[in-house]
């Protein structure tokens, strides 16, 4: 594929949730033509509307000109069918954190796009090599792992699988830079760099809660207000979504053969099983009541 600095670059995004929407926003702001697809009817259109609303709010706050906002919004296109992504230069997958589902999607994409199209995954923890296994053209598959919320978080991990070419890695790094991020190339290991290195921030907090030492609000207050973290571990898990951070925690724990420092707790799983997924469902470790200024534990 061509140079990512070319204005004509077209980016496909599959999965219009929290991450897909954020990636779409920063890409469109960089002047890239974005096509968003989601298997849920209206999800891609809702994502475009949400981004438009966010940008127009920034105009009202004087942080963006109306022209900049409208130019960005004009770069966002809703794809009704996955086949509409056929002409994209790069496609970033941001769907559910499940290896089988991701593999199935990549297989379907391979039947739609040209051999040149780069297929990237925003997975938090699953091996890029495993997502690419079974594909005909594994050399064009790589990880492009953004952080939540994408417009605010500058880091992006670029992860080559065992067959990924240097040219693909270079293109993903260049794309990350064009999106205003700071790309870091990391190895294809469970959790990559950040979700392994930072795992203890949440697993230790879960263990402290499990041992009834302190409440989520107490632990968060200490980490945020005394230790200088932007968010406490429970606030972070509620923002990420329990449906994302529980499977990631479980996967990393299993990948290190049950290393106890990486272990989750029954309450973490209970939240998942009862659909208390955090901010997205209005309840997780905290309640997010209507009009609530602050979460309540």
Would you name the residues annotated as active-site residues?
Answer: 124, 145, 157, 195
Q: Which residues bind ligand NAI (CB under 6 A)?
A: 14-20, 38-40, 43, 94-97, 101, 105, 122-124, 146-148, 240-241, 244
Exposed, middle or buried by CB within 10 Å (0-12, 13-18, 19+), for 136? exposed
Shortest Å distance, C-beta 242 to ligand NAI: 10
Cis, bond preceding 68 (omega within 30 deg of 0): no
Nearer to ligand NAI, 10 or 47 (CB): 47
Smallest distance, ligand NAI to C-beta of residue 283, A: 16
User: The tokens 């207050």 sit on which residue?
Assistant: 221
Closest CB to ligand NAI among residues 19, 24: 19
CB of 67 to ligand NAI, least distance (A): 29
Instruction: Give the torsion sign (CA, 248, 17, 85, 11).
Output: negative
Q: What's the closest the beta carbon of residue 192 comes to ligand NAI, in angstroms?
A: 10
- Residue 184 and residue 156 in contact, taking contact as beta carbons nearer than 8 Å: yes
Burial status of residue 55 (CB atoms within 10 A of its CB: 0-12, 13-18, 19 or more): buried
Ranked by CB distance to ligand NAI, the top (closest) residue is: 17
Question: Which string of DSSP letters, residue by residue, matches 7-51?
Answer: TT-EEEEE--SHHHHHHHHHHHHTT-EEEEE-SSTTHHHHHHHHH
Count CA atoms within 13 Å of residue 157 on its CB side.
23
Q: In terms of CB distance, is 64 or 245 closer to ligand NAI?
A: 245
Q: Name the residue nearer to ligand NAI (CB basis): 20 or 233.
A: 20
Closest distance of CB 96 from ligand NAI, Å: 4
Instruction: For residue 13, give both structure tokens.
Output: 């995004």
Q: Which is nearer to ligand NAI, 122 or 171 (CB)?
A: 122
Q: How far apart are alpha carbons 52 and 25 in whole angstroms?
A: 9
């Amino acid at each position: 594929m061509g140079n990512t600095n070319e204005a004509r670059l077209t980016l496909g995004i599959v999965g219009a949730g929290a991450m897909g929407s954020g990636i779409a926003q920063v890409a469109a702001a960089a002047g890239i033509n974005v096509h968003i697809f989601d298997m849920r009817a209206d999800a891609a259109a809702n994502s475009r509307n949400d981004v438009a609303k966010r940008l127009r709010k920034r105009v009202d706050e004087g942080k963006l000109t109306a022209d900049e906002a409208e130019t960005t919004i004009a770069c966002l296109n809703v794809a009704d069918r996955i086949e509409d992504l056929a002409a994209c230069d790069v496609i970033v997958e941001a769907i559910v954190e499940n290896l089988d589902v991701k593999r199935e999607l990549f297989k379907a994409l391979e039947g739609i796009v040209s051999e040149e199209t780069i297929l990237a995954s925003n997975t938090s923890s699953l091996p890029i090599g495993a997502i690419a296994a079974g594909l005909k053209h594994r050399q064009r598959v790589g990880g492009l792992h953004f952080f939540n919320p994408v417009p605010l978080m500058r880091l992006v991990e670029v992860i080559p699988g065992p067959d990924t070419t240097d040219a693909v890695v270079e293109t993903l790094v260049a794309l990350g830079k064009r999106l205003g991020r700071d790309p870091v190339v990391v190895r294809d290991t469970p959790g990559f760099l950040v979700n392994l290195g930072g795992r203890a921030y949440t697993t230790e907090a879960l263990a402290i809660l499990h041992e009834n030492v302190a409440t989520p609000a107490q632990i968060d207050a200490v980490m945020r207000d005394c230790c200088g973290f932007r968010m406490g571990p429970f606030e972070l898990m509620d923002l990420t979504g329990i449906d994302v951070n529980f499977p990631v925690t479980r996967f990393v724990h299993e990948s290190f053969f049950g290393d106890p420092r990486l272990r989750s707790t029954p309450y973490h799983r209970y939240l998942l099983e009862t659909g208390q997924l955090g901010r997205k469902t209005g309840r997780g470790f905290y309640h997010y009541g209507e009009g609530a200024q602050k979460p309540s534990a």
